[in-house]
Structure 1
Amino acid sequence: MHVLILGGTTEARRLAELLHDTPGLTVTSSLAGRVAGPRLPPGEVRIGGFGGVEGLTAWLSEHRVNALIDATHPFAGTISFHAARAAATAHVPLLAVRRPGWVPVAGDDWHEAGSLEEAAGLLPALGRRVFLTTGRMGLAAFAGLDALWFLVRSVDAPEAPHPARMEVLLDRGPFTLDGERALLHRHRIDVLVTKDSGGAATAPKLTAAREAGVPVVVVRRPPVPDHVPAVAGPEEAARWIRERPHGRAVPTAG
């Protein structure tokens, strides 16, 4: 049985670990290649795009894939639609691993935005020193806010266009609550911008912002195919794989 995991996330790596060394099972993890030094999961790994729906469909057929797992980042919306179309065309069962989004609690001062551009438009009314945690892609949306200062945290160094007044912090999660508290205090942050990525690895910044009374601009997730069965975590996905008779049963929601 051959399983293809569309990954690059903590959940995808964990799923590959859970399935690694399972008798009769071959696992291939596919990474988009947007990070220079990705954390590689166990098993076979391919890096780079497939060439759209047609390329992914061909790859599924040529490599005799029996099950496809979409464990991509919540903001990698395009690949999820490609996966749904390719799986249907190649007649390969598909399951999505969708980590739950964050939910505000008492004391939070959240401001939702439908896009990075909308988030940028909210900032002048909220603060002057911005902690921008949306990654290195899409910084052009904030490039015109010359009156604001930005602390940009990303795994790899961002490229122009980006904000004129900017300090870059190269780091990757998981992050600690004490570390996030110290970061907000040291840089005198008065507004935080984040995507609704969900998960525990980067959630401490939300707690630190709540404690400090810092408003948070939260960019909503893009749409995903709503007809694809989904589970919340890698353990459920591993169970779905192991319970498949020859990898060809019709998928059901976990």
Structure 2
Amino acid sequence: MRKLPQPVPWLAAGEDFPPVETAWSHEDPAPGLLAAGGALDVLTLTQAYARGIFPWFSLGQPVLWWSPDPRMVLRTQAFKLHRSLRKTLTRFLGDPSCTLRFDSAFERVIHACAGKPRTGQPGTWIVPEMVQAYIALHQAGHAHSVETWKNGELVGGLYCVNLGRMVFGESMFAHQTDASKIALAALVAFCRAAGVEMIDCQQNTRHLASLGAAEISRAEFVRHVEKKASQTAPAWHFEPVYWNQILTARTTAPP
């Protein structure tokens, strides 16, 4: 008879998280599930991210907190700039109708990510409660958007969380082909220029793996976060010279 998993702790608002090592394992129904309940205020969210924990739940569920093992991360020096994306970036940079912006439309970006159709999923985990929580996190200076614009229209982008010299990727959207990839390439270029070595990707996907992301153990991830999250955060702005951080690197993957 299969052993039942340990009960998931229910957190009161302001209550501390349990150790990440107590999260459900691969033998349990929801690997990485750590706790439920608690609050989605700025203090709780920053404390969670600083310990390698993030919220993820669907409409009608309580707040669920996760710390999976292994963890999918993109080491910024391992980013694979495919030849096709290099050509796309070259066209983008040479087109005066195209611009890249940071934090000019955070709320529009997160709403676009929430409305993005997801294959095999009836809805989104970016529920209204999450949207409001991350808008507050943005207003507190801990969440940022990277935006791709064309002819004055927002055509793609992503949003992420930043603590010190650690960046945690959240979600992307694209209304035009490769618009979200351009935003990700810009984030990588910025991170390289700012001395950010790792972008958290949370879960393993084929798309992220194709861009250079790979799994590491939770223990290694938490050690890295603990070291980097307490450092001084970079100023979030993008300079054209940052593109050199990836465009001058050797192509590391086939088209």
Query: Whose Rg is larger?
Result: 1
- TM-score, scaled to structure 2: 0.27
TM-score by length of 1: 0.27
